[in-house]
Amino acid sequence: MYQKIKGTYDLLPKDTKKWQALEKTIHNVSKIYNYEEIRTPIFENTELFHRSVGLETDIVSKETYDFVDRGNRKITLRPEGTASVVRSYIENKLYADRLPISKLYYMGPMFRYERPQKGRYRQFAQFGAEAFGSESPLLDAEIISYAVSVIKAFKIKDIEVQLNSIGDQESKTMYKAALVTYLEKDIKTLCSDCQNRFETNPLRILDCKIDKDTELLKNAPKPVDYLNKKSKNHFDKLCAYLDAMKIKYAINKNLVRGLDYYTHTVFEVNANLETLGAQNTICGGGRYNHLVSSLGGPNIPGVGFAFGLERLMLALESVNFKGAPDYLHLFLIVLGEEQKEDGVKLLNRCRLGGLFSDIDFLDKSLKAQFKLADNSNARFIAIYGENEKANHKINVKDKDTGKEITIERDQLYNHIITELMNPSQACQTCKEENCDNCGE
């Protein structure tokens, strides 16, 4: 028997309903913020990720799925979404669009070869957003507000933004020099990854999960303390905008994020939920003023974020997120082979009119078909047999009210629509209209 590959998972129908509801909410919030969806290929040229994400990042050095295709091209399954969006933005000249600010969002599968654990997989879904065209901290504030609004749309209330600035290129250079000087004599006391990062990307040492609580790193210089005037002004304005929007945040001087392309703002959004435990980050992002130009595009700044949707779905377990309701409007019971053509015609009319509808395909008994209707959670059950055919009628039962009625066969669709638009006030206990005795 074949089994799924380690680090992947199947979404069964009971689960996809939750994912569909999650995706619908994301689409709705994105529209509120005037972001438009973009869809990019699942695989790209390997060099795209090497240049954008950084050769020395864990993603590129340890986690990417790389292969050579039949045309001898080096291909990588996308490990994150930003690089692909930037590539598409440049290739399709979206910077020449009629609107000066391009506001895009995406959802789709990503791939990283990392140790599978709860909420983290080798094939995982990511939702992210990118805004291009402005260096204004107001756009940073909007991106953060957008991310927070997505989380709040799922009724997650106890959230906090972790915020920091690593400054512009000048500030980063000054900070890097100070950090190297500070760590130089004690670097051997840190983990092997940190020792490698000391040579290739010292800022990533602050992001270490192993040594983050050591006194050496706790007392290390912080990026925010080396901001030049321009960078400090950008960060101060961002904080003022977040204050104006009443978005709860805390300045985390150790926060640097794991990707090389960030400048100025970096942030994470944490949710204090039982299902997440201590690893409570469900969104992260920041500003990248030089990524577009480094990939061959014009000198256009950008800012964005990304969610791991499995982590978000795990968070939603704490708020009892159920997704879309599981029901049918109509289950049609057809009795007898001679009535099936009429039945198919009726069923098709209801479906084309937007009613969630189904029928038996196994020639089950009347009793068994009623059970099928119950298992399908159908509100209306319509019965069409030999007598109904002879009289051009159909019997309809409304399970919500208990009311049964015989109507003209061709009025089935109109009857159900009318009942759905004008729900009955019948008592659910005794089935009487406006019952005083039951108090319903």
Q: How many CA atoms lie within 13 A of 82 on its CB side?
A: 28
| Vertex 30: Cα angle to 24 and 36 (nearest 5) | 105
Write down all domains in the chain, each with its CATH number in brackets: 13-168+228-319 (3.30.930.10), 328-421 (3.40.50.800)
**Which spans in 263-375 are helix H?**
291-294, 309-316, 340-352, 366-375
pTM: 0.85
Angle between helices 229-244 and 137-153 (to 10 degrees): 40
pLDDT value of residue 61: 66
Task: Note the pLDDT tens digit of each residue in 215-257.
Answer: 888 888 888 899 999 999 999 999 999 999 999 999 998 888 7
Give the whole-number percent of the chain exceeding pLDDT 70: 93
pLDDT value of residue 434: 47
Token reading at 273 = 């939920």
Q: Which residue stretches of the chain have pLDDT < 50?
A: 425-440
pLDDT value of residue 215: 85
C-alpha 395/C-alpha 236 separation (Å) is: 69
C-alpha 75/C-alpha 420 separation (Å) is: 52
